[in-house]
A and B are shown apart, each in its own frame.
Chain A
Amino acid sequence: MNALRKLFTFNGGVKPATNKAESSRDPIVRLDQLPLPPQFVVPLHQSVGGIPQPLVTAGERVLKGQRIGGSDGNFSSAIHAPTSGTVIAVEPRVMAHTSGLTMLSVVIEPDGKDEWVEIQPLDWRSMDANAVRDWLRDAGVVGLGGAVFPSHMKLMAGRKTPMKTLVINGAECEPFITCDDLLMRERADKIIAGIRIMRELLGAPEVLIGIEDNKPEAIATMTAACTANADATIQTIAVPTRYPAGGAKQLIRVLTGIEVPHGQRSTDYGVQCFNVGTAYAIHEAIDLGHPLISRMVTIAGNVGQPRNYEVLFGTPMDFIVRQAGWKDDTNAFIMGGPMMGFRMPAFDVPVIKATNCIIAASPRLFAPPPPEMPCIRCGECARACPTDLQPFEMYWHSRAKNFGKVQEYNLFDCIECGCCSYVCPSHIPLVDYYRFSKTEIWARERQKNAADEARVRFEQRNERAEREKREKAEKLAARTAAARAASAAPAATTADSPTAPEAPAPTPAGDDGKKALIEAAIARAKAKKAEAAGTEGEAPVVEKPVRKVLSEEEKKALIDAALERAKTKKQAAAEKPVTEE
């Protein structure tokens, strides 16, 4: 049936050296064949979406598979303990991220017993689809192809268009990486079991498993598993080897001929795409009840024996690379492949859900890039781009920080595949420019949203103040006048601020009992603060009561007073807070 199928092609693409042979020679090293690392560092935020809340505290004993990070709302995914042991800290640790920034992590010291929490499979056939999705969310299942998008969010039947085709991505086009290849060779039936759950949740009549034709063993085992499954609607299809055939839109194009236009999603065309590793994880989570605590990782590059390992999340990268044979001239780790991967900030960052491959880099293996030359507008990059973009235009505008223009050239359709950089005769690190532009645009977007919200809140507050003023206008006409006079007076007195703390005494309106109460509280707090802060806190405390009395004068004049102060006394206002930092 394979031969009958007409395949399509995508434009562009490149054929880099695959470097896959070394790591795919030997079978996957299973979890039970590996020692436990001395310590696990499990970052709480490993997927797209919200940050899970820690559910454990330091000193607590955890069991293998116990949930340690609860999903925050729906657009997020849970995190679990990789083994049994003691939580020694819940603190920020350096994350497997190029930035070298930290992320709240649960540090676990294993007790060596590897004792499972109570687990049970889910009888998904008799369950409501939403309950199955919630189960997957709580089992921490995310896309393992690299995008780590929470799977339960993607397993929704199409809103606008009914789901037609479920595409399973076994193309694995990136050089060096062989973890999906080995998974398909060794655990094909389990992948099929996962696929059956997924197609049920999606309601997709047809399933197409796309595998690049440089993986004949994987194609053979997957085809055999399909045959054994006796379901003609699940088919394995060999696709031509050309990077990036494993990009979701590219694989969909090749298998179905559907070309998803710029800025749209494949689901609008009734197609959804998942990685084979995700299918396997879904089977594990539902049919066995095992939450996602490990994945297949290819260890390649500058190591003694490149190979695939099943690795628990939170394992330090250097621990697992040492299993494959450490070489002393290793100078960095790259997470992911050489085309799309990211340089790690340290050797001991943890393996996370997105880690499909760790390449040990050395100066010998990856020579420093030749110097960047000016763009000659040769158009090579545009011919290589698999998403039909104009890379050099995006480059020019990114370079000029002209972000509006970059977006007009569909920057956000760029999958950062690196084909353009690969072919560029001027060795321009094009993708670095796109990454710079993307994060810069996101930051501006965030800033703009925050400003918009602030504007609305400021206006609402002003309206409220206006309304309150109006309502009280008649009643308080006289007092308002007094307040105006009073708020002008304090502005004058603030200028000579070195007034003694006795200043509260000359308060003009010393009538309220309330005021006395506040003063008592201030005195208490002052004492407490002086006690706590020692010498450091004294100067401002002496100075403060003056200002307090002045602004306390009339409650409703406070807003005006604050703004007034900012206006007329901005030096005084700036002076104080600045010196504090």
Chain B
Amino acid sequence: MLSALLVMAGLAILIGAALGFAALKFKVEGDPLVDKIDAILPQTQCGQCGFPGCKPYATAMANGEADINCCPPGGEDGIRKLADLLGREFKPLNAENGVEKPKSVAFIDEQTCIGCTLCLQACPVDAISGAAKQMHTIIAPLCTGCELCLAPCPVDCITMKPVEETVDTWKWRYPAFQLKPVAARTAA
């Protein structure tokens, strides 16, 4: 009996120590809720939510200062995930923040670009390369499509182009169409 007690007590001490160690070793930096919210946000960094980037919006949401339906790039899908995570009611995207659009990337008309570096400074993710008075180019795979470079361009040479589907990014459609004939027949 005593030995069993001792064993249990020893185990408890050991596990306690291990847990304590783990808490120190795997200490989560920052606020875990903010990070969880931030992981859902699309990181377009466009500011359409009214905050200077996704993280600030995530922080505001975590503090209950912002609604969950303010991020147009995240769309309905994103709002659903946020509603799940935060235990709030789903609501449609707030139209004041903008509309959900197909993902686009910026494109610089190299003939017109004067190399003023203004777009480069506006880009939140350093997706534009170029030096002063040199032609600038968008590094398309890095561009989030935030459109922040459009307004600063003095010669209006940046346009947004929707990202085209390729054989590698193509997705199989949801096979629900198979159900249609049945539905039609039962309805008739």
Chain A residues in contact with chain B, CB under 8 A?
45, 95, 97, 99, 101, 103, 369, 371-373, 401, 429, 432-433, 435-436, 438-440, 443, 446-447, 450-455, 457-462, 518, 521-522, 524-526, 528-529, 532, 537, 540-541, 544-545, 547-548, 551-552, 555, 558-559, 562-567, 570, 573-574, 576-577, 580-581
Contact = CB atoms under 8 A, between A and B. Distances in A.
Interface stretch (B5-13, B21-29, B174-182): B174-182
A457 B154 contact: no
A447 B74 CA distance: 11
Contacts of A459: 55
B73 to A, nearest CB: 10
A558 B124 CA distance: 11
Contacts of B185: 371
A532 B112 CA distance: 10
B145 to A, nearest CB: 10
Nearest to A461: B126
Contacts of B114: 518, 521-522, 524-525
B9 to A, nearest CB: 38
Given A457-B125, A525-B157, A547-B154, 16 more contacts: A101-B165, A432-B175, A432-B178, A436-B171, A440-B171, A451-B43, A455-B38, A458-B125, A518-B116, A548-B116, A548-B152, A551-B151, A558-B121, A559-B121, A567-B47, A576-B151
A372 B156 contact: no
Main secondary structure on A side of the interface with B: helix
Place the interface of chain B in its size category: 35 or more
B172 A435 contact: yes
Please give me the 9 A-B residue pairs with the lowest Cβ-Cβ distance, nearest first: A566-B47, A548-B154, A563-B52, A451-B43, A454-B43, A432-B175, A525-B155, A439-B171, A521-B114
Given A454-B43, A454-B45, A562-B148, A436 B175 contact: yes
Contacts of A548: 116, 118, 152-154
Nearest to A436: B172
B131 to A, nearest CB: 14
A555 B53 contact: no
Given A97-B167, A563-B52, A522 B155 contact: yes
A518 B154 contact: yes
B42 to A, nearest CB: 6
Contacts of A452: 43
A181 B155 CA distance: 65
A438 B172 CA distance: 8
Contact of A551 (B54, B118, B160): B118
B183 to A, nearest CB: 9
B112 A525 contact: yes
B122 A436 contact: no
B126 A460 contact: yes
Given A446-B169, A518-B116, A565 B174 contact: no
Contacts of A433: 175
A166 B124 CA distance: 51
B44 to A, nearest CB: 7
A458 B166 contact: no
Contact of B147 (A450, A521, A547, A573): A573
B129 interface: no
A371 B185 CA distance: 10
B110 to A, nearest CB: 12
A436 B174 contact: yes
B97 interface: yes
A509 to B, nearest CB: 16
Nearest to A549: B154
B176 to A, nearest CB: 8
B156 A563 contact: no
A123 to B, nearest CB: 37
Contacts of A576: 150-151
A495 B167 CA distance: 44
A457 B182 CA distance: 50
Contact of A573 (B53, B118, B151): B151
A209 B126 CA distance: 54
Contact of B155 (A440, A544, A565): A544
30 contacts: A45-B168, A371-B178, A372-B179, A372-B182, A432-B178, A436-B171, A439-B170, A440-B171, A446-B169, A450-B43, A451-B41, A452-B43, A454-B44, A458-B43, A522-B154, A525-B112, A525-B114, A529-B112, A529-B157, A540-B156, A548-B116, A551-B118, A562-B152, A563-B47, A563-B148, A566-B47, A567-B47, A567-B50, A574-B48, A581-B160
B173 A436 contact: yes
B63 interface: no
Contact of A457 (B54, B142, B159): B142
A439 B185 CA distance: 31
B142 A541 contact: no
B77 to A, nearest CB: 10
A103 B167 contact: yes
Given A567-B50, A574-B98, A432 B172 contact: yes
Nearest to B38: A455
Contacts of B175: 429, 432-433, 436
A580 B112 CA distance: 16
Contacts of B173: 436
B46 interface: yes
A524 B156 CA distance: 13
Given A562-B122, A573-B151, A455 B178 contact: no
Nearest to A447: B42
Nearest to A427: B178
B144 interface: yes
B48 A566 contact: yes
A283 B114 CA distance: 56
Nearest to B173: A436
Given A455-B54, A548-B154, A371 B147 contact: no
A429 B157 contact: no
